[in-house]
Amino acid sequence: MQYKNKFGTIDVLRKSKKFNNKTLAVSMSGGADSTILCYLLANTIQKEKLNITIQPYSGYDTWAPLDSKGVIEIVQYIQNKFPTVDIQWPISTVFNTNGALAPNDKNRFIRPLIEKLTEHGVIDIVMNGISMGPPIEIQQTFQQDPDPSVVDMRRRPGLRQWHEIERAIDSLAPFKNVDKSFIVQCYKEFGIEDLLDKTNSCILPQGNCSECWWCQEREWAINKVFYT
């Protein structure tokens, strides 16, 4: 099913029949991207009357507990919006990074969970909500961490983290070619700003620090959609 707004166009469950009778594992961090992915999946499944189960999964870092704190409430919200869609309770793996890992290094803890769920037939297909980073000129205005190995410009060709995009398969990463302004616009057009308020992009222990790269990206997109 295609979703379009002034910031881009995506396909969710393109060639949807090949997903029928499958369980889709959706990576849910509690952030805005993964949350709207789950919402759009549920909307697509309901509208197209597909027999697809959504199985959210997450990694819970006890060092930064607010990062995934909202996942349960978010899943409940989407379940209530789409009561005819089979949305399972999240399956989580718990670990403690002590702040030593960059956000995407957490995959070393999450990957074994996915492998086990696949091995035992709990899930069939894995989807993720990774999106493209803001334009380079916008990223250059962000406050940067003094240690460039911690954070720098992300998710644009030739920049840090672009390998994630290159590895993503279009049908399994539908936000691959859009940035967070498209994501936030979806919340606005669906009238679910209250769901956006439940999400958290910050990866630091205090949550919503307004200073890390992820908080700055979120603030940029919200300002662009709601205040410009």
Secondary structure (DSSP) of 99-137: T-S-GGGGHHHHHHHHHHHHHTTS-SEEE----PPPPHH
Average pLDDT over residues 44-62: 93
Is the pLDDT at 65 greater than 50? The verdict is yes
- Res. 171 pLDDT band, cuts 50 70 90: low
Instruction: Say how far apart CA 185 and CA 4 lie, in whole Å.
Output: 10
Global pTM? 0.91
Higher pLDDT, 93 or 170: 93
Identify the pLDDT of residue 150.
47
Which one, of 175, 185, 168, 171, lies nearest residue 222 by Cα? Answer: 185
Percentage of the chain lying above the pLDDT 90 cut: 55
| Buried/exposed 39-53: b ≥16 CB within 10 Å, e otherwise | bbbbbbbeeeebebb
Contacts of 136 (CB under 8 A, 6+ apart): 153, 156, 159
Q: Which domains does the chain have, with CATH numbers?
A: 2-226 (3.40.50)
SS3 call for 209 = coil
Higher pLDDT, 189 or 16: 189
The C-alpha angle with vertex 109 and arms to 108 and 110, in degrees rounded to 5, equals 95
Identify the pLDDT of residue 165.
62
Is the pLDDT at 148 greater than 90? The verdict is no
Higher pLDDT, 107 or 8: 8
Pairing of strands 2-5, 86-87: unpaired
Instruction: Say how far apart CA 77 and CA 195 lie, in whole Å.
Output: 8
Is the pLDDT at 51 greater than 90? The verdict is yes
Instruction: Say how far apart CA 194 and CA 20 lie, in whole Å.
Output: 30
- Res. 101 pLDDT band, cuts 50 70 90: low
Neighbours of 103 (CB within 10 A): 19
